[in-house]
Amino acid sequence: MKVIILGTGTSQGVPVIGCNCETCTSANPKDKRFRTSAYIETGDSKLLIDTSVDFRQQMLQNNISDIDAVLYTHHHVDHIFGMDDLRQITQRHKKKIQIYGKKETLDEMRITFRYVFDKQLIRHNSVPIVGFNDRSVRKFKAADVDVIPVEVHHGNIKIYGYRINDFAYITDASAIDEKEMKKLKGLKVLILNALRIRPHPTHFNLQQSVEIAKILKPEKTYFTHLTHDILHKKINETLPKGIELAYDGLELDL
Ligand SMILES: [Zn+2]
Ligand SMILES: [Zn+2]
Ligand SMILES: [Zn+2]
């Protein structure tokens, strides 16, 4: 199984428009962050987690030209707004892309992307062709891959993270209930959001994410969904053993 971390930035990306801070002006490529997303290849299956605002650039930079299914974490703009560009893949490969998420996520997406899902509005080739699968279940198959949804709190809503084999991807979490924590035991790699140093009402900050990693004890934890508070080199050095900041383009073999 191969994983490429396609984006590690919080909702506005890094650099932030108009900002002259140390991170936003840094020459280190690890301080340039697209919005969060990940690509997973296992066997013949190609999965994507979220279609970020930067989806098109992420596909081009990583030479990814095909996707079989998309697992959506939630409906916030930074995680879904690249969806329209799925049509480049559906057209080229003449296929449907199945999308998965919890009911609330897909209900919101039906409103946001009405032109994709409203049959009366669809004009041939002008929209991505997508399947539509509500997954409020314990386990499901997406493009032949076994996927376990993990429900986490994101402020006052509940959203999904996903576990595939020994890999799990959790973004935008602010709390994880005991019952869901159990689904995250015995991991080789955990991708987990860690927004910034100061606390935040709807996302874990760095210290909270370190605590979660220490409880779950995956072999390796990578932090994502980072703001410009996080200067890669400076913050990465302060993290405990086994925990690192993720960066755009990070490749993992599992
Ligand atoms: Zn987000
Ligand atoms: Zn900045
Ligand atoms: Zn969010």
Q: Distance from the CA of 51 to the center of ligand 3, in angstroms? A: 13
Q: Distance from the CA of 191 to the center of ligand 3, in angstroms? A: 15
What sections of 95-205 are H helices per DSSP? 103-112, 114-117, 178-181
Q: Distance from the CA of 73 to the center of ligand 3, in angstroms? A: 9
Mean pLDDT across 2-29: 98
Q: How far apart are CA 155 and CA 138, in angstroms?
A: 23
- The answer to whether the beta carbons of residues 32 and 14 sit under 8 Å apart is yes
- Quote the pLDDT of residue 117: 82
Q: Distance from the CA of 202 to the center of ligand 1, in angstroms? A: 10
Q: Which CATH architecture has domain 2-253?
A: 4-Layer Sandwich (3.60)
pLDDT, tens digit, for every residue of 137-196?
889 999 999 999 999 999 999 999 999 999 999 999 999 999 999 999 999 999 999 999
Counts for the chain of helices (H) and strands (E), in that order: 8, 14
Q: Distance from the CA of 2 to the center of ligand 3, in angstroms? A: 25
Q: How far apart are CA 55 and CA 132, in angstroms?
A: 19
- The answer to whether the beta carbons of residues 3 and 38 sit under 8 Å apart is yes
Is the per-residue pLDDT at 124 higher than 70? no
pLDDT, tens digit, for every residue of 59-98?
999 999 999 999 999 999 999 999 999 999 999 999 999 9
Buried b / exposed e over 8-19, threshold 16 CB at 10 Å, is bbbbebbbbeee
Q: Distance from the CA of 96 to the center of ligand 1, in angstroms? A: 26
- The answer to whether the beta carbons of residues 250 and 222 sit under 8 Å apart is yes
Q: Distance from the CA of 93 to the center of ligand 3, in angstroms? A: 31
User: 102, 87, 166: which is closest to 133 by C-alpha?
Assistant: 102
Q: Distance from the CA of 36 to the center of ligand 1, in angstroms? A: 7
Return mean pLDDT, the chain.
Answer: 95
Q: Distance from the CA of 134 to the center of ligand 1, in angstroms? A: 20
Is the per-residue pLDDT at 122 higher than 80? no
**In the chain, where the domains are located:** 2-253
Q: Distance from the CA of 11 to the center of ligand 3, in angstroms? A: 8
| Ligand nearest, relative to CA of residue 12 | 1
pLDDT grade for 217, boundaries at 50, 70 and 90: very high
| Token pair recorded at residue 138 | 């314990």
